[in-house]
């Protein structure tokens, strides 16, 4: 058949076994022995279909090669092309892989160092690490890690560098570095080794954990402050009971007629020392957030005005104090005693910063804080505020001092000259009132504290009636005193009995319920009770008594109370609180006020 390819055989005698291959009209095949390297001469080829012979020019044919005429592929040609296509695909995949890796390397949010494993020198570094350390590419490539200033200047890193050089592997969860501009940077550092061509390289992954460490430090600090607060609150509560006895009996002794001047002076010294101790315990309780708080609507200018004389007594003669009240600044909701405590602490802080004299300026104003301010000041919320500022021209504070100034018991004053509670107390009070404190300070140029209280629209509350001086009021009603501390209980009973009242007593809530049930005389009109007591506390006891005797009035006496008795507006009718330690006259007047108040109302 004319269209079918003709089959030919080579006439070579030295090729051994060979296949019969198809050829076309213009094709000629030579089959090479795969193991013969000699030059092959021209041989006649006979066509099976016609018996014709075709001559081929003498030439040198390379080993393992099949020569063919144009237009026809041999299996080897096809295999070669497949190999070429595979190689092309492999090279393309390799280039894509390298490009992908480079993109990851360049865009990674972790630092990456590539080191030569033999020399320890840096082959490559990614942009993130350059930015983190503040170095250029040229400053890093070609150097060892130990030659870089962020690593070599830190003593603790020497062991890491030695281990990296010797073992090619290190892992550090918190490695301190220092950037070129002096910034302290904490990083996680881990290395691994892999083969790149005919060499080994060390890849170091460096993750910036500075912000994480900062958050962890804040969390630990918050936990520490909580523990300190609990401890401070417990100590202050117990200490208040002791102070109540000291202040109570010294006050009663001062009322005794015929006291000599020398003896009276000694008692007054005891009284003065106890009052200073009360101030310290009050700050402890405020810091621990266990001090009784009574929020009212007030004008901060009135608070500053009322404290003017007392503040001037606190400062030295070489300090000039100026008060600049703002106009129409608005009102705030806060405890007036707490605001006074903040102002006093800031004034004392300013005084101590000016040992050689200076100027102290107290000012108030209305300000509006915007979103941009809130973003840059932790705890600030956009809105209208009443600002209280205290500015001094003293020594100022370093950045390190400013970082710790609100920590409890942190103080820059000499030992015995400060408690370290002043600013911590201020911050706690301000936060309880929904505000925040901002500080501006520069060494040698003074300090300005700006305290922001949220502005409210409510009308001013009627000022609480001040405690009158003079003799203690008397009465004949029946009272029940419930107190687990024997000395405090005895003091309260003696004071009230001396004023003419019939006084029953109990050591805890359970005992008080029993006393109330068994009492057969005139009805009990008022219960004076501690809050925290064994077996049954004052709050639970009061609930039981109010159910049985709805008209009964309750007076809580405690250095700190739970949420049911902290805010004045939350107190039900006939329930009041009196902070410890209290003076005998204060107790007597509070009892008389409550007894004289109309049923179902609170004393004015």
Name the pTM for this structure. Answer: 0.48
pLDDT in tens, 474-514: 999 999 999 999 999 999 999 999 999 999 999 999 999 99
Q: What does CATH list as the number for 300-456?
A: 3.30.565.10
199 touches 117 (CB < 8 A): yes
Query: 575-578 and 553-557 as β-strands: parallel, antiparallel, unpaired?
Result: parallel
CA distance 195 to 217: 40
Determine whether 520 is exposed, middle or buried from the number of CB atoms within 10 Å of its CB (0-12, 13-18, 19+): exposed
* pLDDT confidence tier of residue 156, bands split at 50, 70 and 90: low
Residue of higher predicted confidence among 324 and 38: 324
Select from 3.40.50.2300, 3.30.1300.30, 3.40.1130.10, 3.40.50.1820 the CATH code of 478-596. Answer: 3.40.50.2300
Domain boundaries along the sequence of the chain? 1-72, 108-208, 218-287, 300-456, 478-596
433-465 confidence digits (pLDDT tens): 888 888 898 888 899 999 999 998 877 654 433
Residue 162: count other Cβ atoms within 10 Å of its Cβ.
12
Fold (CATH) for 108-208: Beta-Lactamase (3.30.450)
Name which of 127, 124, 181 is nearest 150 in CA terms: 181
Spatial distance between the Cα atoms of 325 and 209, rounded to a whole number of angstroms:
46
3-state secondary structure of 289: coil
Residue 478 CB-density burial (10 A; 0-12 exposed, 13-18 middle, 19+ buried): middle
> Residue 466 pLDDT more than 70?
no
**Residues sharing a CB contact under 8 Å with residue 460, sequence separation 6 or more, in sequence order:** 297, 298, 299, 331
pLDDT band at 179 (very low <50, low <70, confident <90, very high): confident
In which band, very low, low, confident or very high, does the pLDDT at 286 lie, cut at 50, 70 and 90?
Answer: low
Please give the Cα distance from 257 to 252 (Å, whole number). Answer: 11
CA 422 – CA 286 distance, rounded (Å)? 11
Q: What is the pLDDT of residue 592?
A: 94
The mean predicted confidence, pLDDT, of the chain is 77
pLDDT of 29? 37
CA quadruple 594, 600, 602, 604: dihedral positive or negative?
negative
Predicted local confidence at residue 183, as pLDDT:
86
- Residue 64 pLDDT > 60, yes or no? no
* pLDDT band, very low/low/confident/very high, at 401 (cuts 50, 70, 90): confident
Share of the chain above pLDDT 70, in %: 74
Decide whether 108-208 matches 478-596 in CATH topology. no
Peptide bond into 21 cis (omega under 30): no
Pairing of strands 478-482, 502-506: parallel
Say if residues 69 and 28 touch (Cβ distance below 8 Å). yes
Backbone angles phi, psi at 406, to 5 degrees: -95, 5
pLDDT bin (cut points 50, 70, 90) of residue 402 is confident
Q: Tell me what the mean pLDDT of segment 354-362 comes to.
A: 92
Among 363, 361, 362, 382, residue whose Cα is nearest residue 372: 382
pLDDT computed for residue 237 by the predictor: 72
Torsion, Cα of 81, 87, 92, 97 (10° steps): 160
d(CA 507, CA 503): 13
Pairing of strands 331-334, 446-456: antiparallel
């Amino acid at each position: 058949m004319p269209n079918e390819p003709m089959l030919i055989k080579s006439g070579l005698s030295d090729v051994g076994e060979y296949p019969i291959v198809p050829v076309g009209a213009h094709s000629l095949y030579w089959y090479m022995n795969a193991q013969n390297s000699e030059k092959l001469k021209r041989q006649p080829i006979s066509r099976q279909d016609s018996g014709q012979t075709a001559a081929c020019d003498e030439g040198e044919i390379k080993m393992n090669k099949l020569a063919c005429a144009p237009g026809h592929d041999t299996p080897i040609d096809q295999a070669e092309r497949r190999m070429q296509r595979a190689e092309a695909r492999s090279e393309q995949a390799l280039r894509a892989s390298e490009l992908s890796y480079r993109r990851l390397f360049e865009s990674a949010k972790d630092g990456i160092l590539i080191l030569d494993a033999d020399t320890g020198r840096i082959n490559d570094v990614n942009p993130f690490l350059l930015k983190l350390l503040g170095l250029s590419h040229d400053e890093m490539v070609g150097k060892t890690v130990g030659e870089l200033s962020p690593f070599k200047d830190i003593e603790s890193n020497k062991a890491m560098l030695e281990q990296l050089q010797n073992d090619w592997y290190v892992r550090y969860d918190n490695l301190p570095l220092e950037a070129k501009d002096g910034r302290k940077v904490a990083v996680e550092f881990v290395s691994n080794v892999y083969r790149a061509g005919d060499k080994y390289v060390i890849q170091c992954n460096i993750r910036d954990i500075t912000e994480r460490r900062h958050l962890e430090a804040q969390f630990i600090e918050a936990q520490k402050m909580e523990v300190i607060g609990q401890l401070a609150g417990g100590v202050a509560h117990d200490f208040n009971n002791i102070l109540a006895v000291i202040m109570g009996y010294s006050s009663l002794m001062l009322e005794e007629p015929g006291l000599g001047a020398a003896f009276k002076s000694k008692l007054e010294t005891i009284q003065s020392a106890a009052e200073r101790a009360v101030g310290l315990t009050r700050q402890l309780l405020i810091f621990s957030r266990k001090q009784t708080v009574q929020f009212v609507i007030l004008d901060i200018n009135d608070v500053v005005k009322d404290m003017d004389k007392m503040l001037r007594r606190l400062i030295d003669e070489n300090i000039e104090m100026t008060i600049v009240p703002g106009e129409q600044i608005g009102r705030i909701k806060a405890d007036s005693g707490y605001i006074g405590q903040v102002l006093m602490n800031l004034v004392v802080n300013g005084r101590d910063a000016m040992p050689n004299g200076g100027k102290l300026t107290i000012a108030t104003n209305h300000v509006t804080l915007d979103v941009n301010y809130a973003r840059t000041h932790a705890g600030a919320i956009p809105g209208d505020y009443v600002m209280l500022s205290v500015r001094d021209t003293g020594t100022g504070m370093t950045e390190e001092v400013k970082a710790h100034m609100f920590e409890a018991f942190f103080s820059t004053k000499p030992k015995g000259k400060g408690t370290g509670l002043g600013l911590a107390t201020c911050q706690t009070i301000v936060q309880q009132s929904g505000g925040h404190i901002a500080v501006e300070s520069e060494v040698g140029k003074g300090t300005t504290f700006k305290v922001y209280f949220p502005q409210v629209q409510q009308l001013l509350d009627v000022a609480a009636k001040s405690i009158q001086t003079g003799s203690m009021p008397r009465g004949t009603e029946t009272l029940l005193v419930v107190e687990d501390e024997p000395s405090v209980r005895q003091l309260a009973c003696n004071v009230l009995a001396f004023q003419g009242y019939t006084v029953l007593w109990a050591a805890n809530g359970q005992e008080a319920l029993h006393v109330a049930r068994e009492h057969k005389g005139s009805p009990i009109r008022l219960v004076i009770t501690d809050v925290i007591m064994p077996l049954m506390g004052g709050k639970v006891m009061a609930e039981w008594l109010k159910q049985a005797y709805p008209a009964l009035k309750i007076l809580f006496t405690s250095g700190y109370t739970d949420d049911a008795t902290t805010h004045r507006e939350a107190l039900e009718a006939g329930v009041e609180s009196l902070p410890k330690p209290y003076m005998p006259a204060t107790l007597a007047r509070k009892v008389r006020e409550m007894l004289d108040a109309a049923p179902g109302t609170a004393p004015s």
